[in-house]
Structure 1
Amino acid sequence: MAIFLSILWNNIIPLAVMIAIGITLHRVFSLDIKTLSKLNFYLFSPAIIFKLLYTTEVSLQSALHVLLFFVVFMLLLYTSVEIAIRVRGIEKSRRGAMRNSVLFYNSANYGIPLNELVFASNPFTLSIQVLIMMLQALLPNTYGIYSVNAHRISGKQILKTIAKQPVIYAIPLGFLMRGFGVPIPHALQVPLDYAANAFIGVALITLGVQLGSMKISLRSLMLGDVLLSCSLRLLGGPLLASAVVWMLGIDGLMAKALIVSSSVPTSLSSVLLAVEFDNEQEFASQAVLVSTLLSILTVTFVIYVMG
């Protein structure tokens, strides 16, 4: 019960408050969700990724283990989603959004606080979570863009769109500047901090604005597809992660950190992608909202099993 209340109070309620603020602001002022989406994609998200990579100390051995785990894990998770899509017969226009809702998980504003809570701010497990967050940030800006656009624009146009995403350049830049010890001038450090600190708040408000623009009812709730997405994300994620760490012989704190990181709900990136490229916005928003609520139970159970 103590773990349950800690997760509820430290993780879920703060997220819910920010989402509620977004819903309220939209109902009062009719905010432009496209503008909020662009701020997240082109400014706040690259800023927080660059800052964390530049400031977090990560060993090469840990990075290689995490990378190997992530590749195997994502391949297995993708296979599971594809099987589910084929069995359920999901329409083509929604398939990309369904994949994104399972493959992209909230490794930043949910995963990092959760990691600090579970592992008592252990710097080693935090570095693992930062690596997962970096890889998760790269996916929506590459594969995610492809998945929501593949059925309607050419491959050349998709590549051009991907090439315009700042996150792709922020990741290697952060690694290189840290590796070579390149200092950031104070005149740039201050605005970088401002932009990075704004990411979580603006992303949650964006989700609130999207939810506030929806007329949520039992009829509008895509219950079958949303529950399928949540099952694959919240139950399939940690089960597959456990299998992968066992197959790769990863144990100890690293194994536990990787399994816990895989148990978090659907990422806000799936909503931002849906809004930015006008693809299944309601489904994406419902998947994030329902998975976040259900994660109160599922994440608590995963932590309990992890001991």
Structure 2
Amino acid sequence: MTVLLPAIIPVAFIIFIGFIAGKTLKLQQQTLSQLTVYILAPALVADSLYTTTMSAESAAKLLLGVFIIAAVLYLLVLGVSYWLNLSSLIRKSLIATTLHPNNGNMGLSLVDFALGSGGLDRAIIYMIGSSILLFGITPAILAGSSLKHSLGVVFKLPLIWAMIAGLSLRVLQIKLPFNLGEGLHLLGVAAIPIALLILGMQLADTKFKVREFEFASLNLRLIIAPLIAFVTGKLINLETLDLQVLILQSSMPTAVNTLVLVTEFGGDPPLVARTIVVTTLLSFLTLPMVLWLSTKL
């Protein structure tokens, strides 16, 4: 319990502050979201890759784990959809809410508090792989568009270019002049609390309801996904910290960006919005258990 509380309580506290702000202040969520997506999150990625000490082998294994987990979950959702004879709209919504955990807003924060800088480096690698799935592959699945077109969307995002820049600086061993590395680090540090505040504000605007779809989604996202992550991590022989990060990041509630995804490419936006709220709130019951179990690995 002494390990869990310092990791969970700060995250919940910042989200709660965002919730209160959403109820009492007239803040522009879109502006804050754009600030995070286009400036702060890319800075966090570039800084972490620039300063990371993890090996290329560990990073490659983590990325492999992300893609294997997503593939298994995708096949599982297709099986459930066929078995229950779900409509195309519901099937697309279930794919979106199941495949994409909130490993940015919540995942990076929880891993940072629970596992420190080493865990955060690995959590960012997971987020990069997840972002490629979110913005590159899933749109093609939902809309039936070509993979080439979807990957074009990925390379328009600053996150990918920040990854390339951070890796280049690392590989070429370039030292940034005039203490610019510290400025990059400060921007990156700001990404986590701002993202949690945005999440709290979004929770303030959405109603909490649990129906059949939300119940299925929360089981797939919060219970089955971490089990698949555990098995996957063991099969690809991840080390302890790598395995812990893979499981924790896979245990996160549905990503907020899935709402943008289904609105643009196909699905039921109100259903997905409720699922984001349900899985986020219930994750405060499941994540402490997953975190405790991961410390026993």
Output the TM-score relative to the length of structure 2.
0.80
Task: Report deviation, 1:240.
Answer: 0.6
Task: Report deviation, 1:241.
Answer: 1.3
Counterpart Cα distance in 2 of 1:198 and 1:122 = 15
RMSD of aligned alpha carbons:
3.4
Task: Report deviation, 1:232.
Answer: 0.7
Counterpart Cα distance in 1 of 2:79 and 2:228 = 15
- Give the aligned partner of residue 232 of structure 1: 220
Question: Does the CA-based 8 Å contact 1:108-1:133 persist in structure 2?
Answer: yes
1:129 aligns with 2:123: yes
Question: Does the CA-based 8 Å contact 1:7-1:296 persist in structure 2?
Answer: no
- Give the aligned partner of residue 9 of structure 1: 9
Question: Does the CA-based 8 Å contact 2:11-2:110 persist in structure 1?
Answer: yes
Counterpart Cα distance in 2 of 1:252 and 1:109 = 23
Segments of structure 2 that go 5 or more residues without pairing to the other structure are none
Question: Does the CA-based 8 Å contact 1:23-1:211 persist in structure 2?
Answer: no
Question: Does the CA-based 8 Å contact 1:49-1:167 persist in structure 2?
Answer: yes
Question: Does the CA-based 8 Å contact 1:265-1:295 persist in structure 2?
Answer: yes
Task: Report deviation, 1:234.
Answer: 0.8
- Give the aligned partner of residue 183 of structure 1: 175
Task: Report deviation, 1:239.
Answer: 0.8
1:164 aligns with 2:160: no
Segments of structure 1 that go 5 or more residues without pairing to the other structure are none
In the superposition, relative to structure 1, how do residues 206 and 93 fare at CA in structure 2: closer, same or farther (>3 Å)? farther
Counterpart Cα distance in 1 of 2:71 and 2:266 = 26
- Paired amino acid for 1:269: N
- Paired amino acid for 1:22: G
Determine which of 250, 253, 259 is the counterpart of 1:262: 250
- Percentage of pairs with the same residue: 27
1:285 aligns with 2:273: yes
- Paired amino acid for 2:102: N
Q: Deviations over 1:199-229 (max 9, x none)?
A: 3344444445544555x37xxx362212211
Question: Does the CA-based 8 Å contact 1:97-1:284 persist in structure 2?
Answer: yes
Counterpart Cα distance in 2 of 1:17 and 1:144 = 32
Question: Does the CA-based 8 Å contact 1:18-1:208 persist in structure 2?
Answer: yes
- Give the aligned partner of residue 94 of structure 2: 98
Task: Report deviation, 1:236.
Answer: 0.8
1:70 aligns with 2:66: yes
Counterpart Cα distance in 1 of 2:60 and 2:126 = 12
Counterpart Cα distance in 1 of 2:86 and 2:178 = 51
SS in 2 for 1:139: helix
Task: Report deviation, 1:47.
Answer: 2.6
Counterpart Cα distance in 1 of 2:79 and 2:45 = 32
- Give the aligned partner of residue 174 of structure 1: 166
Q: Deviations over 1:125-181 (max 9, x none)?
A: 443323212222333232244455x16x77776455444222222222221121112
- Give the aligned partner of residue 41 of structure 1: 37
Task: Report deviation, 1:98.
Answer: 2.8
- Give the aligned partner of residue 20 of structure 1: 20
Counterpart Cα distance in 2 of 1:66 and 1:245 = 8
- Give the aligned partner of residue 191 of structure 2: 199
- Paired amino acid for 1:257: V
Size of the aligned set, in residue pairs, is 295
Counterpart Cα distance in 1 of 2:141 and 2:198 = 21
Counterpart Cα distance in 1 of 2:52 and 2:31 = 30
In the superposition, relative to structure 1, how do residues 261 and 57 fare at CA in structure 2: closer, same or farther (>3 Å)? same
In the superposition, relative to structure 1, how do residues 233 and 186 fare at CA in structure 2: closer, same or farther (>3 Å)? farther
Question: Does the CA-based 8 Å contact 1:98-1:229 persist in structure 2?
Answer: yes
- Give the aligned partner of residue 104 of structure 2: 108
After TM superposition, the structure 1 stretch with the greater mean CA deviation from structure 2, 134-143 or 108-117, is: 108-117
Counterpart Cα distance in 2 of 1:273 and 1:287 = 14
In the superposition, relative to structure 1, how do residues 246 and 131 fare at CA in structure 2: closer, same or farther (>3 Å)? same
